[in-house]
Amino acid sequence: MNRDTWTLERDHVDLRRPGVEPRVVTLDAAPQRLTLDLARTAVVVVDLQNDFCHPDGWLASIGVDVSGATAPVEPLRATLPPLRAAGAQVVWLNWGNRPDRANLPPGVRHVYDPDGSSTGIGDELANGSRVLTEGSWSAALVDGLVPEPQDVAVAKFRMSGFFDTELDSVLRRMRVDTLLFAGVNTDQCVLATLSDAACLGYDVVLVEDLCATTSPRFCTDATLYNVRQVFGFTTTSAQLRAALTA
């Protein structure tokens, strides 16, 4: 349902938006338990795509161990259907650059390629796909994740999914104010997007086991600490599902 619409007639326009029935749940979280309205909530799934997670993708090709990057896939497959059924929106936020890279400054173009001698954004992989290019295999979701027709996809071009994208506009048109975060990497693109969301006034909840990273464990520990300390809350998919069935 389009939540940001008018009712139009030949001689009358009703500016009231459609009412949405609240879907209230209370769940265990840290540092406190949470009560939220799933009808005003979106799950933002960040960068669970081949270049970050697949053994033939970009990070693996430059020597990064991606063996744990797909850990969120199965818990996501179990958690998204009941969240959708309860009224939550799902947004797939994948890094997918312009083929000409015209909007990328050098500091972004050379992420993971600091001296220009390795494979960088937009370069070709051994399988012929171009790194993080929109519409390519590299930018596609990993196997096992299939969007539903009512889901929304947004392309991103920076660590944060809010910078230079339509993500904020899409979420506001959905009438959403609470965001559940999933994806990779926990300490990089997930955290950057979450912190920007908090600065924009969204309520933010990081779902721990729906996120993963190729960074050392201490990076995750620091991220969880900072989310709980200054940005919002953390929970788990099991706690979410328990709240949905309570």
Q: Which 8-state DSSP code applies to residue 220?
A: H
Indicate if 156 belongs to the active site: yes
Indicate if 219 belongs to the active site: no
Catalytic site residue from 53, 156, 187, 196: 156
Catalytic site residue from 51, 53, 187, 189: 189
* Closest alpha carbon to 172 in 206, 148, 197: 197
* Closest alpha carbon to 224 in 179, 197, 186: 186
* Closest alpha carbon to 224 in 203, 196, 197, 194: 194
| 46's tokens | 């960040």
Catalytic site residue from 47, 51, 187, 209: 47
b/e string for 182-207 if b means 16 or more Cβ within 10 A? bbbbbbbbbbbbbbbbbeeebbbbbb
Q: Is the peptide bond before 185 cis (omega within 30 degrees of 0)?
A: yes
Give the residue numbers marked as catalytic: 47, 156, 189
